[in-house]
């Protein structure tokens, strides 16, 4: 059985980057929950550092990840500083992590985001201290025109699903179509708010629930 751990950057009293009505901690969570749902839909066992807005210290994330002993580990962040594009960090010491980073970069480009490249770091705790092959993703810049690529929850979920497709490919699992239509139909049929949908995204069997709700007569 394949196991993947998702680290969700920031949270609670630490919102991360904030700009243009976006809070990094919220964006990170939306991406992470979409990634989690897509991996679980394909039978992957997923650990995640948080499923709601709460304090989520990096040291605790790393501890949880190592205790979970995953096959792969992905930390989700987004950027600030006026730049443009996606980037992904690795330690440079693990070939599997580099392959995963390359796959993620490819999937992110496929949804229309440009890339600043795959970068090595000796200082980032996630890529340095996590025992499994680990990557840290910075999806887009919140404080520049780059935000247009992910300025809504639906666009943010596309990033999470892109990350999931890359992980599935790395694990040798053939991915099917993402059932976004069921989610959209369920929301429209029952008039759920975006906040409600984000909450439901954290449910382990979210995709099955959306399908059942969408098909309700």
Length of the chain: 217
**Cβ contact 164:207 at 8 Å:** no
Note whether 109 and 172 are within 8 A (CB): no
Question: Which residues, in sequence order, are CB contacts of 55 under 8 Å at separation 6+?
Answer: 11, 12, 13, 14
Q: Among the options 61, 102, 138, 188, which is catalytic?
A: 138
Name the stretches of the chain with pLDDT < 70: 176-181, 217
pLDDT tens digit string along 12-51? Answer: 999 999 999 999 999 999 999 999 999 998 999 999 999 9
Instruction: Based on the residue annotation, tell me whether 138 is a catalytic residue of this protein.
Output: yes
Angstrom distance (rounded) from CA 4 to CA 56: 18
- What pLDDT shows up at residue 176? 66
pLDDT value for 14: 97
Q: 51: alpha, beta or left, given left = phi > 0 and alpha = psi -120 to 50?
A: alpha
- Predicted pLDDT at 56: 92
pLDDT value of position 213:
85
pLDDT at 147: 97
Which pLDDT score is estimated for 178?
Answer: 53
Cα–Cα distance measured from residue 114 to residue 159, given in angstroms and rounded to the nearest whole number: 12
Burial status of residue 161 (CB atoms within 10 A of its CB: 0-12, 13-18, 19 or more): buried
| Residue 27 backbone phi and psi in degrees, to 5 | -65, -45
Q: Which helix (H) or strand (E) holds 19?
A: strand 18-19
pLDDT of 186 reads 84
pTM for this entry: 0.83
């Amino acid at each position: 059985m394949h196991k993947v751990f998702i680290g969700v950057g920031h949270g609670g009293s630490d919102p991360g980057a904030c700009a243009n009505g976006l809070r990094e901690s919220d964006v990170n969570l939306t991406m992470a929950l979409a990634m989690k749902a897509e991996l679980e839909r394909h039978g992957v066992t997923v650990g995640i550092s948080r499923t709601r807005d709460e304090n989520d210290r990096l040291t605790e994330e790393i501890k949880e990840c190592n205790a979970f002993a995953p096959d792969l580990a992905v930390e989700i962040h987004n950027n600030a500083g006026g730049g443009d594009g996606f980037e992904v960090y690795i330690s440079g010491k693990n070939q599997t992590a580099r392959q995963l980073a390359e796959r993620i970069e490819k999937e992110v480009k496929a949804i229309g985001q440009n890339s600043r490249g795959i970068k090595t770091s000796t200082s980032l705790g996630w890529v340095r201290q996590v025992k499994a092959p680990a990557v840290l993703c910075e999806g887009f810049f919140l404080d520049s025109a780059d935000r247009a690529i992910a300025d809504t929850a639906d666009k943010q979920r596309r990033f999470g699903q892109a990350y999931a497709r890359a992980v599935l490919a790395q694990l040798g699992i053939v991915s099917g179509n993402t059932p976004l239509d069921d989610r959209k139909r369920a929301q429209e049929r029952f008039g759920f708010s975006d906040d409600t949908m984000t909450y439901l995204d954290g449910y382990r069997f979210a995709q099955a629930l959306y399908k059942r709700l969408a098909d309700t007569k």
